[in-house]
């Protein structure tokens, strides 16, 4: 350890607990050298990789190993290499890997009823919907009294559902204003406003409001009537949201787009404009919601004049079991009737049973306090890191809670950092064009934070030495 830092406490073969970085005299140099250098494969592993290459659609560039099992914040590959997972399955595994409570619920519910379709009632779906609505109301959101929930299977499907609902609301409001039927072809209240660097999914509707040419261009033409603004720009509100707007969709914190936060005053102005023109305001909280920022929703502390009409969610809700959900205010839900939307698998007894268990635990006060303490500690260490590497990383650490981004001056470096960290036993993600993203399990411990940041400091030392 460096002079002035805490004594080392072992918790794995290559990690240590450090005291607050402000007490250290400089960045950790323990991980300047890589830990894992040989990613050659056994004959059995190579057969697994070859089979996947032959039969699985090659739409991902995968890491050079095969994951085997995990526990908590840690994950192992088939050769026994151990990694600290600060990607959490892309912000999904809120309770970590192989959680015993989740496993028990999966086993119990699978032994009773896996799937029966939405032609019949099931108890877990109602319990999870009730918990979502009541928790939201308790976070100073009385506008969600009487709210309704639609369950899907993914975040993309949740956003698709939200956009469909908003289109229908727009037609109904237009019909009321004009006296014409809502299906009249002259209805022009169908435009959707989204924002640059937002990410809402890859199906055709969700892709249409994901304004990244890399994702969109191969699949054009997309759905018409989409207008794109800039996050936090007042002119995007004034010039784009109009009487023709049926929906505005925005992430309070953009995940894939670089961990960029929407300003509270801007969101409030957006809310007011939507009210003025009768547009539905959708907050996509698929990555930033469900306690990842320290509160139920990223917008929970923004005040009553900054509440959406619809909230979409997915990633952590069932800790990796596929589920998505759309929660909408009662006034919005009233336009939907039998046959206007549907799903075969969404809202299954198994998915909702797991979701209810996970959400109960995430909303526990002791759990929230522990996550806040550890996420605050992570941010303090990252802030100190910006002072040690000002020529490499930007001065501001982005995000809140356990959704944090480190911006780089050189857009080539984030990809390098992902590889360098992986070779030292930590899994992280890129975000946007200039950042890496830290979205660990919400159960991540302080000593795991220390190991992750020690490795990042070592990686930055390598980057600095290569310049």
For residue 16, what pLDDT is reported?
Answer: 39
CATH assignment of the domain containing 264: 3.40.640.10
Domain assignment present for residue 205? The answer is: yes
pLDDT tens digit sequence for 371-393: 999 999 999 999 999 999 999 99
Note the pLDDT tens digit of each residue in 158-202. Answer: 999 999 999 999 999 999 999 999 999 999 999 999 999 999 999
Contact in structure between 170 and 246 (CB atoms under 8 Å): yes
Closest CA to 359 of 323, 308, 404, 310: 323
Are residue 296 and residue 261 in the same domain, yes or no? yes
Query: Quick one: 81 and 121 in the same domain?
Result: no
Q: Can you tell me whether residue 328 is helix, strand or coil?
A: strand
Residue 423 resides in a domain = yes
Final residue of a structural domain among 363, 380, 399? 363
Shared-domain flag, residues 142 and 26: no
Whole-number pLDDT of residue 37 = 84
| Per-residue pLDDT tens digits for 314-327 | 999 999 999 999 99
Cα 180 from chain centre: 41
Question: Which of 319, 347, 363 corresponds to the end of one domain?
Answer: 363
Range of the domain at 459: 21-95+390-466
Picking from 384, 371, 387, the residue whose alpha carbon sits closest to that of residue 446 is 371
Strand partners, 284: 312
CB 441 within 8 A of CB 5: no
| 256 and 223 housed in the same domain | yes
Are 294 and 206 in the same domain?
Answer: yes
Tell whether 346 is covered by a domain: yes
Residue 239 in domain: yes
Task: Tell me: do 79 and 149 sit in the same domain.
Answer: no
Asked, for residue 371, whether it belongs to a domain, the answer is no
> Does residue 223 sit in the same domain as residue 349?
yes
Looking at residue 18, its pLDDT comes to: 46
The whole-model pTM stands at 0.93
Q: What CA–CA distance (Å, rounded) separates 464 from 397?
A: 19
Q: Are residues 87 and 187 in the same domain?
A: no
What CATH number is associated with residue 44? 3.90.1150.10
Q: In total, how many domains does the chain have?
A: 2
Q: What is the DSSP string of 60-126?
A: S---SS-EEEEEBTEEEETT--EEEESSHHHHT-TT-BT-HHHHHHHHHHHTT-S---TTS--HHHH
> Tokens for 205?
């509707």
Q: Helix crossing, 365-388 with 446-466: angle to 10°?
A: 20
Radius of gyration of the chain (CA): 23
Distance of CA 394 to the CA centre of its chain: 22
On whether both 340 and 421 belong to a single domain, the answer is no
The pLDDT, as a whole number, for residue 297 is 98
| 108 found inside a domain | no
Digit-coded pLDDT (tens) for 69-94: 999 999 999 999 999 999 999 999 99
Q: Does residue 69 sit in the same domain as residue 191?
A: no
Domain termination residue (choose one: 348, 363, 378)? 363
C-alpha dihedral, 281 to 287 to 293 to 298, nearest 10°? 0
Identify whether residues 82 and 120 lie together within a single domain. Answer: no
């Amino acid at each position: 350890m460096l002079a002035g830092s805490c004594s080392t406490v072992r918790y794995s073969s290559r990690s240590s607990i450090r005291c607050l970085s402000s007490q250290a005299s400089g960045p950790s140099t323990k991980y300047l050298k890589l830990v894992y250098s040989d990613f050659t494969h056994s004959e059995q592993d190579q057969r697994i990789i070859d089979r996947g290459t032959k039969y699985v659609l090659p739409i991902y560039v995968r890491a050079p190993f095969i994951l085997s099992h995990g526990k908590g914040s840690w994950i192992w590959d088939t050769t026994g290499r151990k990694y600290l997972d600060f990607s959490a399955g892309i912000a999904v595994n809120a309770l970590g890997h192989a959680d015993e409570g989740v496993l028990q619920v999966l086993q119990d519910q699978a032994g009773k009823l896996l799937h029966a379709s939405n032609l019949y009632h099931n108890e877990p779906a109602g319990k999870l919907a009730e918990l979502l609505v009541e928790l939201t109301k308790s976070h100073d959101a009385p506008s969600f009294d009487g709210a309704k929930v639609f369950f899907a299977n993914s975040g993309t499907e949740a956003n698709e559902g939200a956009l469909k609902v908003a289109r229908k609301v727009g037609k109904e409001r237009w019909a009321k204003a004009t006296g014409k039927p809502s299906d009249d072809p002259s209805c022009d209240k169908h435009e959707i406003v989204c924002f640059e660097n937002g990410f809402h999914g890859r199906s055709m509707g969700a892709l249409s409001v994901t304004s990244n040419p890399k994702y969109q261009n191969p699949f054009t033409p997309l759905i018409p009537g989409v207008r794109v603004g800039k996050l936090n720009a007042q002119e995007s509100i004034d010039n784009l949201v109009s009487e023709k707007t049926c929906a505005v969709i925005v992430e309070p914190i953009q995940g894939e787009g670089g961990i960029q936060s929407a300003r509270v005053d801007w969101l409030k102005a957006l809310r007011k404009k939507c009210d003025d023109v009768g547009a539905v305001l959708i907050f996509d909280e698929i990555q930033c919601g469900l306690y990842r920022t320290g509160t139920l929703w990223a917008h929970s502390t923004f005040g009553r004049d900054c509440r959406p009409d619809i909230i979409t969610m997915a990633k952590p809700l069932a800790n990796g079991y596929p589920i998505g959900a759309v929660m909408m205010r009662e006034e919005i839900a009233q336009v939907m009737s039998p046959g206007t939307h549907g799903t075969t698998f969404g809202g299954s007894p198994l998915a909702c049973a797991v979701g209810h268990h996970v959400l109960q635990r995430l909303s526990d006060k002791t759990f929230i306090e522990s996550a806040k303490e550890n996420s605050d500690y992570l941010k303090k260490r990252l802030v100190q890191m910006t002072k040690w590497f000002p020529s490499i990383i930007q001065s501001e650490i982005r995000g809140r809670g356990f959704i944090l981004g480190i911006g780089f001056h050189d857009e080539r470096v984030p990809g390098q950092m992902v590889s360098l960290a992986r070779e030292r036993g930590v899994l992280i993600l890129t975000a946007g064009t200039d950042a890496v993203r830290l979205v660990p399990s919400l159960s991540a411990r302080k000593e795991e934070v220390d190991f992750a940041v020690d490795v990042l400091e070592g990686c930055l030392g390598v980057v600095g030495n290569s310049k």
